[in-house]
Amino acid sequence: MAHYIAYKILPKLHCVVEYYCGELGLNDLIEYQKRVAVDEHYDPTFNIISDFRESDIKVKADDVVPFIDFVKKHRPVAKRQSAVLTDTPYQFVVGELYKMHLGSLPMNVSVISTVDAAIQWVGLSIKQNIVINNTIQELKNSRTFD
């Protein structure tokens, strides 16, 4: 399955920008979570902007709960805002299922279709639009497929 997942931690903005591209299955998302969890610069209180707009999500509805269970057990989670950027109806539905099944996790998730809305959701100033868009573009430009 050809895919690419990258992230950049922006400590001054208290934010992580994630970029997903290509076909993504449950195992791909779990492996990414493992990688982020051991990053010494990762802070579970940082807000997250996850850009799934160029991904082909192969995760099934039945995979959402096991994924959340994995996150609960293996990745530090703290109160934060998370924006999930989507472009297709299926991406939106999977994002909403994720949001619905979070249960006790202290994350406030919103499934969003524009970068401006994502910036506002995670509490950044609209002035940060250039920084966030440049970060997404930088992650896109660095992509290689697994």
- Whether residue 65 has pLDDT greater than 80: yes
Is residue 76 predicted with pLDDT exceeding 90? no
Q: Are 16 and 136 in contact (CB under 8 A)?
A: no
Q: Which residues pair with 112 in a beta bridge?
A: 85
Phi and psi at residue 69, to the nearest 5°: -60, -40
Helix (H, G, I), strand (E, B) or coil at 103: coil
**How many CB atoms sit inside 10 A of residue 26's CB?**
17
pLDDT level of residue 2 (50, 70, 90 thresholds): confident
Secondary-structure class of domain 3-141 per CATH: alpha beta
> What predicted TM-score, i.e. pTM, was given to this entire model?
0.91
Q: What pLDDT, on a 0 to 100 scale, did the predictor assign at position 59?
A: 87
Strands 47-57 and 15-24: parallel
Q: Which of 9, 62, 3 is nearest to 29 (CA)?
A: 3
pLDDT of 53 > 90? The answer is yes
The domain segmentation of the chain, as residue ranges, is 3-141
